[in-house]
Amino acid sequence: MQKESKVSSLIKRHIVGALFLPVFFAYLYYLPPSPYFFALLLIVAVIALRELFTMYNVPAAVSASGIVTGAALLYAFCYYPEYYLESIFAALCLLLLIRLLLIASPSGCMSHIGPVVTGYFYVAFFLSFQWLLRFGDNGLEYIFMLYISVWLADSMAYYIGSSVGRHKLYPSVSPNKTVEGAVGSLIGGMAGVFIVKTVFHLSVISTFSAVMTGIMFGVAALAGDLVESMLKRDAGVKDSGAFIPGHGGILDKIDGFLVSGPVLYFMTRYF
């Protein structure tokens, strides 16, 4: 029964992927980034924030304000990055005031505020790096590189880990992760970089840079996965949600991108 359930879940993953990926890449390629790419980031951020706050049982009033201010922060980070300090200050003040005024008891205030503040940075701030990438040199190509490389890193980690994985990587955080799967993540990351480099004729990326960038993708995707696994284990849940059939929640799908986006941005800016 367990094997049949695993096969069924795998089939669902492939069906969803086959239907979603072509539409997703066409959306990125043909539509202008503003407002369409931002709209995509905003929708993802709102759903991911809601999943994170639900995982930690944040009260409705605090959760709702956190989602609204988190979305506003993403907008500020993307369109007005010069005011990011003022935006963070305003969001934190608003959050503290809402918790103070709408919930009379001080009991549990840190357990309510903590996940929201984490969401501001872990979701909204980290996602904003994709916007910065999109408007840099070769922005569209780097966005494709980000998504394809992280997707292949996750896929290779899953398939290699589930087929030949024997040595546990970090069992206290993610019991199913293996060292062999981690190697698969590196291979997938490098494959994604070389695919995009070849398809888009990115001469600015040398073979050595492609290998190093792919390795960084593999490491970042794995780190993002482990970070989210840590949060889910702490919250006592298996998946962040059930938004995508066979795939879990939105947060489950973007965990690698949240870390890899900033990593790629800094690599393109400083190296």
Tell me what pLDDT residue 1 has. Answer: 47
Distance (Å, rounded) from C-alpha 240 to C-alpha 245?
A: 13
Distance of CA 12 to the CA centre of its chain: 21
User: What are the domain boundaries of the chain?
Assistant: 31-128, 136-271
Q: Helix or strand or coil: residue 177?
A: strand
Residue ranges in the chain modelled with pLDDT below 50: 1-4
CA distance 180 to 165: 5
Q: What's the rounded Cα separation, in Å, for the pair 121 and 8?
A: 35
In degrees rounded to 5, what are phi and psi of residue 137? -60, 140
Res 248: pLDDT = 79
Helices assigned H by DSSP within the chain:
2-30, 38-55, 60-79, 84-102, 109-119, 126-134, 139-164, 179-199, 207-235, 250-270
Whole-structure pTM value: 0.92
Structure tokens at 165: 């994985």
48 contacts: CB under 8 Å, gap ≥ 6? 119, 123, 240, 249, 250, 251, 254
Query: What is the pLDDT, as a whole number, of residue 11?
Result: 60
Q: How far apart are the first and last CA of the chain?
A: 50
Q: Which residue pairs, CB below 8 angstroms and at least 24 apart, start in 48-52?
A: 48/119, 48/123, 48/240, 48/249, 48/250, 48/251, 48/254, 49/119, 49/123, 49/124, 51/240, 51/241, 51/243, 51/249, 51/250, 51/251, 52/115, 52/118, 52/119, 52/122, 52/123, 52/231, 52/240, 52/251
